[in-house]
Structure 1
Amino acid sequence: MRTFTITLFLVLFWNLSFPIGGDSSHGDIVKPKLFNRDCELLYEEMNLNGLIQFNAFEAAFTGYKKLNNNNSILTVIDFSLPSTEKRMYVLDLEYKEVLFVSYVSHGRNSGENYATKFSNRNGSYQSSLGFYRTGSTYEGGNGYSLLLDGLEKGINDMARSRAIVIHGADYCSETVIHSSGRLGRSFGCPALPRELTKPIIDAIKGGSLLFIYADQPDYLQKSKVI
C-alpha cells in the first residue's frame, strides 16, 4: 500500500510539473519554426531560389516582420556577393513581385570586389550593415538621391551625419566591371547604375525598409533586430 501511494504521488507530481501539450514553453519552441516556414513559403512563392541567397532573405524578412511600417516594399542588398554580381533586390512582399535586380557599389574602404569591412564611423568610407528606413529625395552633387535613416544603434545610426544615401554613379556599370574587374566604389553609399537610379528610388522612397546583409558574425551578434 505504501509503495502504491508513493508511486501515485510521483505520477501526479510528474503530470503537474510537465503537462502534456498546451504549455507556453512548448508554444515558444514551435513559434520560430512556424515563422521560418512562413519565410520559406514566401521565398518559394516569389521564386527567389537562385536569385537571392536564402540566408540574406531570411535575415531581411526577420527584420521586416519587426520593423515594417505598413509598407510592402523590402530592399535587400547582399554584400556577401562580389560587386560583379547584381546584388540589390527590390521586392514587393504584398504582391510577391521582384521589382528590380541591380548592381550596387560598396564603400571604397570596405574592400575591392568583395565588401569585407564595415563601419558606422564618420570618415571611414566603409559601408554599414543592417536595417534602414528610406526617407525623402533631393537633388545633390550626385543627382537624384534618397536619404536613409539607419535603424540600428551603433551599427548604422550615423547614416545621416555620414551622408550615406542612395545615388547614381558612373562607376557603377558593366563597362567599369569589364575594364577593371569590379565596380567602382563609393564613400560608403549604396550607389546604383545611372539608368536605374530614378526608377529604384521612386519605388522605395518614403518609408520602406532597406537591409544590407553580409555574412558577418559580428553584426549578427550585435543586432537587436535579427
Structure 2
Amino acid sequence: MRNLILVLVFTCAIGIYGIYSKTEPAGITETKSTTTPVAQALSIKDSTEAQKVYHAINLEGKLNYEPFEMAYNGYLQLPIRNKDIITVIDFSLPSTDKRMFVIDLKNKKLLFNSIVSHGKNSGEKYATSFSNKNGSYQSSLGFFVTENTYQGGNGFSLVLNGLEKGINDQAKPRAVVIHGADYCSQSVINATGRLGRSYGCPALPRELAKPIINTIKDGTMLFIYAQNKTYFATSRVLKASQSMLAQKDNDDESIHQQVY
C-alpha cells in the first residue's frame, strides 16, 4: 500500500512539472521586444533628413538609396535657385532600366521615371567611363544646375551647367545638354538589347523630352551618379556633405549627452 502511494505521488509530480515546463516546438522561439517607447522615438528622431524624405516619397524599390542620399545632401548645401525639384540619374543601372528620376521635393512626389542614354564612349549597356573633356563623347558625373531651353539640332533642349570643377564644369563648352533622341526608346532596346548612345548628353525619349525639360528647367539641380571611386574621392560637394553630416552627428550627440 505504501509503495502504491509513492508511485501515485511520483506520477503526479511528473505531470505537474510537465505542465509548468512546457516548451515551444523546435525552431520557434518567442522573442519579446526590449525596445522601449523612448528608444523607438529616439530611433525615429535620429533618422537622417534624407531617409525621411526618401520614405515620404515612397522611393523604395524605384530609386536606390545611395544616389538619392548623395543627391539630397548635395542639394542641402548647394546654392540652387529652384529648390522644389531635383533630378537624379543613376548610371550604375543598365541603359535598359528607367534610371532618370524627377522628384518633386515640395509635394513629395516622383514626377517622372524614364530611360536615359549615356555617352557612346562611356560604355555599351552600362556606363563605366566618364570624362569632363571635350571630344571624349563620354558622360560626366556629379552635380549640375539646369539653365535655359533652346531649339537646336536635336530639337527642344536644356542647357546644363556643371558645378564641379574638373569633374563636369566643361558641360556647357562641350554642349552637354538634355534633349530627345530617336535612339532612346524601348524599340531600340528591343532590337539591340540596350539604348543607343549620345555624344555625352543625357538623351531622353522624344515623347518625354519636352515635358521633362519644362519641369526641370530654370535652376533645378541634376545629380548624375555612378559607382565610381574616382568621383567619390575627388568631389568637393560629396566631401562637404560628409563634413556637414559628421558635424550634425556631433551636435546631436552633444545634445543627447546634455539631456541624459
Q: Which TM-score band (shorter chain)?
A: 0.7 to 0.9
Q: Which amino acid aligns with 1:64?
A: Y
Cα deviation per residue 1:133-189 (whole Å; 9 max; x = unaligned)?
Answer: 000000000000000000000000000100000000000000000000000000000
Q: Which amino acid aligns with 1:84?
A: T
CA-CA distance at 1:71 after TM superposition: 2.1
Specify the SS of the correspondent of 1:196: helix
Aligned length: 193
Q: 1:121 — aligned with what?
A: 133
Deviates more, 1:108-117 or 1:64-73: 64-73
Task: Check conservation: 2:82, 2:218, Cα contact below 8 A.
Answer: no
Mapped pair 1:61 → 2:51: no
Runs of 4+ aligned structure 1 residues displaced above 6 Å come to none
Specify the SS of the correspondent of 1:157: coil
Q: 2:166 — aligned with what?
A: 154
Q: Which amino acid aligns with 1:211?
A: F
Specify the SS of the correspondent of 1:225: helix
State, as a whole percentage, how many aligned pairs show the same letter: 62
Q: 1:219 — aligned with what?
A: 231
Cα deviation per residue 1:29-63 (whole Å; 9 max; x = unaligned)?
Answer: xxxx95x6111111111000000000110010011
Q: Which amino acid aligns with 1:154?
A: G
Q: Pairwise mapping of residues 31-180 of structure 1 onto structure 2 (< 5 A)?
A: 37-67=48-78, 68-180=80-192
Q: Which amino acid aligns with 2:70?
A: A
Unaligned 5+ runs, structure 1: 1-32
Q: Which amino acid aligns with 1:186?
A: S
Distance in structure 1 (CA, Å) of the matches to 2:160 and 2:211: 17
TM-score, with structure 1 as normaliser: 0.84
- From 213, 219, 228, the counterpart of 1:201: 213
Q: 2:15 — aligned with what?
A: none
**Larger C-alpha radius of gyration, 1 or 2?**
2
Q: 1:187 — aligned with what?
A: 199
Distance in structure 2 (CA, Å) of the matches to 1:122 and 1:57: 28
TM-score, with structure 2 as normaliser: 0.73
Q: Which amino acid aligns with 1:208?
A: T
Q: 2:258 — aligned with what?
A: none
Distance in structure 2 (CA, Å) of the matches to 1:170 and 1:202: 19
Larger helix percent:
2
Q: Which amino acid aligns with 1:71?
A: K
Distance in structure 2 (CA, Å) of the matches to 1:139 and 1:70: 23
CA-CA distance at 1:94 after TM superposition: 1.0
Unaligned 5+ runs, structure 2: 1-44, 239-260
Distance in structure 2 (CA, Å) of the matches to 1:37 and 1:146: 33
Q: 1:28 — aligned with what?
A: none
User: Using CA pairs below 8 Å that are at least 6 residues apart, which structure has the higher relative contact order?
Assistant: 1
Specify the SS of the correspondent of 2:111: strand
CA-CA distance at 1:69 after TM superposition: 2.5
Q: Which amino acid aligns with 2:217?
A: K
Distance in structure 1 (CA, Å) of the matches to 2:149 and 2:221: 15
Task: Check conservation: 2:91, 2:224, Cα contact below 8 A.
Answer: yes
